[in-house]
A and B are shown apart, each in its own frame.
Chain A
Amino acid sequence: MTGDGAALEGEITVAAAASLTEPFADIGTAFEAEHPGAEITFTFDSSGTLSQQILDGAPVDAFASADERNMDALVEADLVEGEPAVFAGNQLIIITKPGNPEGIASLADLAGAGVVSLCGEDAPCGRFAAQALENAGVTIPERSVTRGHNAKSALTAVSEGDAVAGIVYVTDALAAGDAVDAIEIPADQNVVATYPVAVLADAHDVALARAFVDYLASDDGQAILEERGFLPPT
């Protein structure tokens, strides 16, 4: 893996979608173990917030988005070095309180279930959830929808708060463990999110950022992502 000889040293900042919190923490540790002189700092939030911050000049070396749209915004602004590459996929899942007290079995059951937690309308997970609901022909009245700012806060409203159910990524439900129950969404209704990553044009350490991006596509990186429930890039 270390191939080209020159030791990679320095610090980079990687901005990543909130749904990547767990695998990236693991990947960061593994990457730093492989390159002892390297230090990676992560900033996790909704992809929309991160891309906005990067447009505003946030000092970030690489960006991993939960959708193509927020990456494209940076490509259009000439802020991306080279081409973004898809490194993972994700799907949606319904979550409920442990034990599923309301007996929710499908997207259709969400329409009259009480308060449902979704991501913000313009966050990737919010748009994908809207797409999945549309695929299923289900309308949840907006007065029964509480919106988290990103995938993690949408889950918290169910695990910590009083939301009856929510729609989040498969990986978020997995990471939450026993805090929520998960109900699968059939493939014909579900949406596949693709995660692109790119080195940014203003990166202060392009070589290290590039090495991190390459690591995501490596066997080691993919194994960690798969362990956390992510799909391989298609």
Chain B
Amino acid sequence: MLAAAALAILLFALPLIGLLQRADWSRVVDDLRSPASAAAMRLSITTSLAATVLAIALGLPLAWLLARTDIPGRAVIRALVLLPMVLPPVVGGVALLAAFSRRSPLGSWLYDAFGIQLTFSRAGVVLAEAFVAMPFFVITVEAALRSLDPRFEQVAAGLGASPAQVFRRVTLPLIAPAVAAGAILSWARALGEFGATITFAGNIAGRTRTLPLEIYLQLESDPQAAIALSLVLLLVSFAVLIGLRDRWLGGARP
């Protein structure tokens, strides 16, 4: 039992150790300061934050819908929302292309009517990242809403608060820790997004070449630079998970 558990820990730890041991520490800082790396990092930070904002703005109402209403087909909607978590991201990218590329009905209408092209744009990167990251926010917040004692809200409503007031003044403060945890989780997922991004938004330096895409390209030309960039993602992800250790399950603590 213990041996198997130790083996499991090794399975996770060894690749990380391998990466650390393979890094050329004397040049990590220079690698990270190269113009290509810096541009990829800047782009990754801005797009992943924008994707997180989008995930919160759309995911909060969605989580409420799933947790608090009895709309027909709720199980199907939930499955649909969670699909990007299990789908290979490349498939997500192909699906986004089918929906929003200039050859799709919606994409060609967007382009003809408004001149909006999502492919090869920062907005496309944000869309791809939000597509894969939002499910993490939705399930975290939905779980918190479900575990919330409904009497708090019932009392507030009984005292004459409107549904909007109840949500803003009672529900939201109670689930705030889960909202924060869900936001951070989906941010970390957006930051690491690769397959949907390269498939849908392309790989243009400074515009859609995020950190994971830069790592993928560098792996071929300059593996050491790729490792240095990987270390950054590793560090950020590790910090996020350690910071979230108590809130992983998303339960609110009133």
Where the two chains meet, the residues of A that have a C-beta atom closer than 8 Å to any C-beta of B are 46, 48-49, 52, 115, 117, 120-123, 142-149, 157, 160-163
Contacts and interface: CB of A to CB of B under 8 A. Distances in A.
B219 interface: yes
A73 to B, nearest CB: 12
B202 A115 contact: yes
A149 B216 contact: yes
Contacts of A145: 204-205
A160 B97 contact: yes
B222 to A, nearest CB: 8
A180 to B, nearest CB: 13
Contacts of A149: 216-217, 220
Interface string B188-225: 00000000000110111111110000001101110100
A115 B120 contact: yes
11 contacts: A49-B219, A52-B223, A115-B202, A120-B217, A122-B221, A142-B204, A143-B205, A146-B120, A161-B119, A162-B101, A163-B202
A143 B207 contact: yes
Contacts of B204: 115, 142-147
A143 B107 CA distance: 22
A130 B211 CA distance: 24
B117 A162 contact: yes
Given A46-B220, A48-B221, A161 B205 contact: no
A122 B225 CA distance: 14
A52 B227 CA distance: 14
B224 to A, nearest CB: 12
A123 B202 CA distance: 17
A160 to B, nearest CB: 6
Given A52-B223, A161-B199, 4 more contacts: A52-B220, A115-B120, A147-B203, A161-B119
A65 to B, nearest CB: 13
A49 B221 CA distance: 9
B220 A162 contact: no
Given A146-B120, A147-B203, A122 B101 contact: no
B102 interface: yes
B90 to A, nearest CB: 10
B240 interface: no
B202 to A, nearest CB: 4
A113 to B, nearest CB: 13
Interface string B208-250: 1100000011011101000000000000000000000000000
A143 B207 CA distance: 7
A143 B206 contact: yes
A120 B207 contact: no
A161 B101 contact: yes
A122 B199 CA distance: 20
Contacts of B200: 161
Given A162-B117, A163-B120, A146 B202 contact: yes
Contacts of B143: none
A121 B120 contact: no
B219 A146 contact: no
Taking each of B119, B120, B200, B209, which has the highest tally of chain A beta carbons within 10 Å of its own beta carbon? B120
